[in-house]
Amino acid sequence: MLRLSQLVMNSLRLHGEETYPHECCGVLLGRLSDGESSVQSAVRAGNTRIDSAHNRYSIAPAELIRIQREARVHGLDIVGFYHSHPDHPARWSATDLAEAHWLGCSYVITAVEGGRAAQTNSFRLVGTTEDDKQFIDEPVEVAVPEELRP
């Protein structure tokens, strides 16, 4: 289960619209316990794959180091990542799996169709090694802001 606020969900989807037709990417900070991730914030990152930004993304390790350092200050961990698929379904690709190495973390994908965010799905990378890793569909729970609750 991936839990996040409507604000965080809106933020990562908007990022995908802003970078369209290129892929956006970012880091999800929060807490991970008993297989559930509670996301506190989504931090935008630059896509270093300027050679093929419409269908590839990569986050510079130096930027990850910086984000991880800031997360530590706030008592948070990296619990997942997000990216967009411009004009492509919100399903993980063979490239997504091959390049995924954060076992136990969530990988959130938003399809952006013609510049508009469409479906957003989350997949958790499970397994114990590079040899047996796989993505499984992960339920997403979006918390409704208190002022909008009935």
Partner 1 sequence: MDIYIPTPLRAYTGQQATVSVEADTVDAALAQLTTAHPELKRHLFNDDGRLRAFVNLYLNDEDVRYLPEKQGTKTTQSDALSIIPSIAGGGGEARYSGRC
Environment class of residue 84 by beta-carbon count within 10 Å: exposed (0-12), middle (13-18) or buried (19+)?
Answer: buried
Candidates 1-9, 10-18, 105-113, 138-146 — which segment interacts with partner 1 by CB under 8 A? 105-113
Candidates 5-13, 98-106, 136-144 — which segment interacts with partner 1 by CB under 8 A? 98-106
Rounded to a whole number of angstroms, the minimum distance from the CB of residue 112 to partner 1 is 9
Identity of the residue, 14 or 118, whose beta carbon is nearer to partner 1 in the bound complex: 118
Is the separation of the CB atoms in 118 and 100 below 8 Å? no
Identity of the residue, 8 or 59, whose beta carbon is nearer to partner 1 in the bound complex: 59
Say whether residue 13 binds partner 1 (CB under 8 A).
no
Query: Which residue among 34, 51, 101, 148 contacts partner 1 (CB under 8 A)?
Result: 101
Which residues ranging from 30 to 59 are in contact with partner 1 (CB under 8 A)? 32, 49, 52, 55-59
Say whether residue 70 binds partner 1 (CB under 8 A).
no
Say if residue 21 is preceded by a cis peptide, omega within 30 of 0.
yes
- Nearest-CA neighbor of 88 among 39, 141, 146, 20? 20
Say whether residue 103 binds partner 1 (CB under 8 A).
yes
- DSSP string of 99-131, one letter each residue: T---TT-EEEEEEEETTEEEEEEEEEEESSSTT
Is the separation of the CB atoms in 2 and 106 below 8 Å? yes
Our CA angle for 127, 131, 133, nearest 5°, is 30
Residues that bind partner 1 (CB under 8 A): 23, 25, 27, 32, 49, 52, 55-59, 61-62, 64-65, 68, 72, 77-79, 81, 83, 85-89, 92-105, 107, 113-114, 129-130
